[in-house]
Structure 1
């Protein structure tokens, strides 16, 4: 496992390769979510690009990083549409396989507060294969658990630089995979559902309106408050944007507290956008917006 180094920001954009899922999101937005057996009418239907992997790769590209996606889509209209959307966002799509299978699909229900319920049909995501994919020393790799964990483990084995895992959806993590993670990112529910994370070297946990924190060997060492948002449009892509931003911020040498603040700010912008792959400002914008002036600078400006 490589070591995370916190230093001054580099002069070149960070490189992030995402290995993971690519889905077509079919979303119905209603005034409220239905109870079991209940029908709620008056919803608005939309189709848009999604999948945790694709969302994270697009977020990285829009933040200004060099972004590459490794995954799979089907030989169908949905697959072609999703590939085009990622390429248009600036993602390198050369390592996305086109398979004789349906493109992954997520059926999403969203209420007026942005809360959601999701059912995922993996399709081509269930056949993701790294093949001859290689990773350079200078690139970070980010995975999730929407593809087979054996594929994620193989990605971790091949990674020469920084390896991060967004352990979502929550599942028991293979011991070797956990040992190879430089960073694990989860929300508070996933943190409770995966006890092994209590002993992981570096874990970032999101707490919704209560912000986020970083744990080193189970000890809480840094935290950052949430950015208050009143105009929530969709929470689906916020966690993925947070993940991409946090990895890029750490790779840019920010300390843990500042990196969390940057990722929180990116997540806040993401929930204001109805898309699962929201528009974002540059990483540099969020770094400057969340920078805390040192004491000497503050005194000089008074």
Structure 2
């Protein structure tokens, strides 16, 4: 079975559902509130586990009730948490507003995630045993770089979601095999608003790029000289887009580790993301392999 390692964040998502997100200085009345385990790292781990991989999580939670719940959620989703540290203080939180069109705005408070600034004993061995390492930017860059360098040293594929969007250090780009930005992140990294132009520009720094485009699907470009590949997304009505990108990333990592052709891998990941946006929440919305297969073959 495919083994995916994830180095990243765990957060408790505090989600408010509103008709329309408030503007600066505005107060609106919401229609519901939920606490949902999340964090980009944990979300990608759960997505990969539900897509059929053996998954191990490297990160940290606080010694608060949220931390216990986050660990339990990962374990019940089949994610190994032996390398998920428990530290003094609060767990990370994400404060999310979801509007009736399924859009969201998010404020992340790292808390325990901020302590993940190095590889702990055993982390490199775990990474070395994996088929792929999933990375994001909700933990300190120092550990992200260390994880990617460990993966490169052991011939493990690295897949980096550059979120929250920020300048990426050359030493991280040098050990990234696949960069997975959304359209906004691709623009932030390159200054180019056209996804194809942005993807081509990013190939100066990494060997392959997938730009996710929401309802428009995804775009793949690589240094092999072929034209960029555009893959559409299924036509659906979104309820909550929170976690869709993480669902796509986790599922894509599984598909690529199973050595599926890139077009099929992107279609499969798009099917998973389409299922996730039709349900509320992040980790709670992520589909299982049988559901993904059914959507993919529809």
- The question of a shared fold, defined as TM-score above 0.5 by the shorter chain, is answered with yes
Counterpart-to-counterpart distance in 2, 1:239 and 1:84: 23
SS of match in other structure, 1:194: helix
Pairing partner for 1:209 from 215, 223, 229: 215
Contact 1:258–1:291 (CA under 8 A) maintained in structure 2 = no
Corresponding residue for residue 45 of structure 2 = 57
Rounded Cα–Cα distance in structure 1 between residues aligned with 2:292 and 2:30: 37
Structure 2: distance between partners of 1:42 and 1:106: 17
Aligned counterpart for 2:231 among listed residues 200, 216, 224: 224
Which of 193, 197, 200 in structure 1 is aligned with 2:202?
197
* Matches for 1:1-302 after TM superposition, within 5 Å: 13-128=1-116, 129-132=118-121, 133=123, 134=125, 135-159=127-151, 160=154, 161-195=156-190, 197-199=202-204, 200-217=206-223, 220-230=227-237, 232-277=238-283, 278-282=285-289, 286=292, 290=296
Contact 1:24 1:78 in 2 (8 A): yes
Question: Considering only CA atoms, is the larger Rg found in Structure 1 or Structure 2?
Answer: 1
Task: List per-residue Cα deviations over 1:91-136 (Å, max 9, x = no partner).
Answer: 0011011001210011111101111111111000000132111223
Give me the CA root mean square deviation. Answer: 1.7
Which 10-residue stretch deviates more, 40-49 or 51-60? 40-49
Q: After TM superposition, where is structure 1 displaced by more than 4 Å over at least 4 residues in a row?
A: none
Cα distance, 1:223 vs. partner?
A: 2.1
* Aligned partners of 2:272 and 2:286 also within 8 Å: no
How many residues are matched? 278
- Aligned equivalents of 2:76 and 2:130: distance in 1? 24
CA contact (8 A) 2:128 2:150 kept: no
Contact 2:203-2:222 at 8 Å conserved across structures: no
1:107 and 1:255 map into 2 onto residues whose CA distance is 37
Q: Structure 1: where are the runs of 5+ without partners?
A: 1-12, 293-302
SS in 2 for 1:266: helix
The alignment partner of 1:214 has SS state of strand
Q: Is the 8 A contact 2:4 2:130 kept in 1?
A: no
TM-score, scaled to structure 1: 0.88
